Chains A and B, each alone.
Chain A
């Protein structure tokens, strides 16, 4: 493996890993884990619905979106996931269920975001722009 010669600047990799680690530690600070979590569904930057996920029973939401698109969201106890969506990439379905504050499901083609927030984050607009 002579081809794997390293150079001085390759320490940049460590720098990246350090940033990632810091980010990870910051996650708990920016999005602390709390009781009474709510799931916020946003469409095109506007809050569409807020659902408490700690207590609620199974709920199914089918939301009609512009241009005949649909997104099918299922709320279970402590988690929320996208069951089906009429987008080409299906990233939102593959993301699976989310349950921790900060975690989010994005459907980019339909501009839908589902994310978890604590109860005190009703002024969540501070986080969005």
Chain B
């Protein structure tokens, strides 16, 4: 890919991730457990890992969470989502880069979602200095498995047509 094309694509991906990040806040989740969410923006993160690479994915996550906290949330939600997001990106990249033979895309996405939720609980319990927050960890792992699976499916189905549209390979 040429440099111009990469930059343009990055801009588009960040815009899409930000839109998903903001829209997600307006979708009510029926389970009243703090931290349970769809993780729609993870579609873009995983797609960026596959198409562009690690550094670009990290960039997308940082810019998305930063702008996302400006649009809605605030400074405490930035710290909160950026650490969960970075942790999940690192995990997904390692699985994709070194263990792609063993894991299908939905499983990589699930691992990312679970990592994200664990990272968030860790940050939250650090902020309020209270380990009781880990009470919700089992529920958050289950929710990560469910949402991560569908997010991974979305990436898998989108990948082939998008590669054709973007004329990659």
- Interface residues, chain A, with chain B CB atoms under 8 Å away: 3, 5-10, 12-13, 16-17, 19-21, 23-24, 27, 31, 42, 44-45, 88-89, 91-92, 94-96, 102-106, 108-109, 111-113, 115, 127-129
Contact = CB atoms under 8 A, between A and B. Distances in A.
Contact of B138 (A20, A91, A96, A104): A20
Interface of B: 32-34, 72-74, 76-77, 80, 99, 101-104, 106-107, 110-111, 114, 124, 127-133, 135-139, 141-142, 144-145, 149, 156-157
Contacts of A106: 34, 124, 128, 133
Kindly list the 8 A-B residue pairs having the minimum CB-CB distance in the complex, ordered from nearest: A9-B102, A45-B129, A23-B138, A20-B141, A9-B103, A20-B138, A102-B135, A24-B138
Given A7-B102, A23-B141, A91 B132 contact: no
B130 A115 contact: yes
A88 B127 CA distance: 17
A5 B104 contact: yes
Contacts of A104: 130, 132-133, 135-136
Max chain B Cβ within 10 angstroms of own Cβ: one of A103, A104, A127: A104
B130 A45 contact: yes
A111 B128 contact: yes
A24 B113 CA distance: 19
Max chain A Cβ within 10 angstroms of own Cβ: one of B73, B80, B132, B139: B132
B38 to A, nearest CB: 15
B99 to A, nearest CB: 6
Decide if the interface of chain A is mainly helix, strand, loop or mixed: mixed
23 contacts: A7-B102, A12-B103, A12-B111, A17-B141, A20-B138, A21-B138, A24-B138, A42-B129, A42-B130, A45-B130, A88-B72, A89-B73, A92-B34, A94-B34, A104-B133, A108-B127, A109-B77, A111-B127, A112-B128, A113-B133, A115-B135, A127-B130, A127-B132
B74 A88 contact: yes
A106 B33 CA distance: 10
A127 B131 contact: yes
A11 B21 CA distance: 30
A93 to B, nearest CB: 10
Nearest to B69: A88
A129 B131 contact: yes
A42 to B, nearest CB: 6
Given A94-B32, A106-B34, A16 B114 contact: yes
Given A9-B99, A9-B103, A113-B132, 12 more contacts: A12-B103, A13-B149, A19-B141, A20-B139, A20-B141, A42-B129, A45-B130, A88-B74, A89-B77, A91-B34, A109-B74, A129-B131
